[in-house]
Amino acid sequence: MSFLDWIEERPGAAELRAASYRMLGLKRGATCVDVACGAGHAVAELARKGLKVTGIDADPDAIEAARERAPGAMFHVAHSDDLPLEDGSADGYRALRLFHLLEDPRPTIAEARRVLHPGGRIVVGGQDYGFLLIDSSDQDLTDVICLGLESRTVSPRATRTLRDVLLDAGFHDVEVAVHNEIVTEHGQLAPQLKSAAGAAVEKALITQEDADNWLVEQSRRGRRNRFLAVVPTLLVGGRR
């Protein structure tokens, strides 16, 4: 839960959630389901806006934490492709930071369409690891290391396909927005940098010496206030 809290409380996370709410465009009293709700930050915020919210996550520990954060909301432990909800029972559907974990997004989107009533709104999205930008004196090496990071994820570039998936599923008025998180504090991403470099070595994309030198450079950039990373998140919205 500390990791889920860290994700939702890091700089820019609240702005991203707010952007997803604006794209949903739901009014007070509307029903909304938040799939892969994690520790319930969005559920709590949507409930405070006067929505009737149901949070769903496959992790029972996440649901337990979410219930504490939003005690007035409804929660279920379930997978995204098998929701315990009636057909056409929701005005809005939201799912972020989910699709990089799925081998195929289509069953989840089909299930979203099932639970939305005609005219209901959907907002899905997350990070596309192929768009990650990290400044470096050796950009070619950096690009290869980012491929290492992608190798640690089931579907690292799934988010860029969501517009097509929504259109294929019969959604209308599909729109795409990009939310960029600018990171200039090396420590904020240091664990992810180490993981990416380690994965690139494991995949034999680079040598251990390459990885060590790159990590030293990124650390040095941090000490000199020269670290820069841009982490884009795609939001894709539509109407059933």
The pLDDT tens digits of the residues spanning 206-235 come to 999 999 999 999 999 999 999 999 989 999
What's the confidence (pLDDT) of residue 152?
A: 86
Task: Label the pairing between strands 133-134 and 229-239.
Answer: antiparallel
What's the confidence (pLDDT) of residue 9?
A: 73
Question: What is the average pLDDT score of the chain?
Answer: 94
Residues whose CB falls within 8 Å of the CB of residue 239, separated by 6 or more in sequence, listed in order = 119, 120, 121, 122, 171, 172, 173
Does 11 score more than 80 pLDDT? no
pLDDT in tens, 102-156: 999 999 999 999 999 999 999 999 999 999 999 999 999 999 999 998 988 999 9
pTM of the model: 0.91
Q: Give the structural domain span for 76.
A: 2-239
How far apart are the C-alpha atoms of 96 and 159, rounded to whole Å?
A: 10
Task: Label the pairing between strands 90-96 and 74-77.
Answer: unpaired
CA distances from 114 to 83, 127, 134, 170 (A): 9, 25, 39, 11
What's the confidence (pLDDT) of residue 149?
A: 87
Q: Are 179 and 235 in contact (CB under 8 A)?
A: yes
Query: Mean per-residue pLDDT for 172-198?
Result: 94
What's the confidence (pLDDT) of residue 13?
A: 87
pLDDT band at 6 (very low <50, low <70, confident <90, very high): low
CATH number at residue 191: 3.40.50.150
pLDDT band at 1 (very low <50, low <70, confident <90, very high): very low
Q: Are 137 and 124 in contact (CB under 8 A)?
A: no
Query: Mean per-residue pLDDT for 88-92?
Result: 98
Alpha helix positions (H), the chain: 2-9, 13-24, 41-48, 60-69, 106-115, 139-150, 162-168, 186-202, 208-223
Report percent pLDDT > 70 for the chain: 97
Task: Find the range with the poorest average confidence among 5-9, 90-94, 99-103.
Answer: 5-9
**Total of domains in the chain:** 1
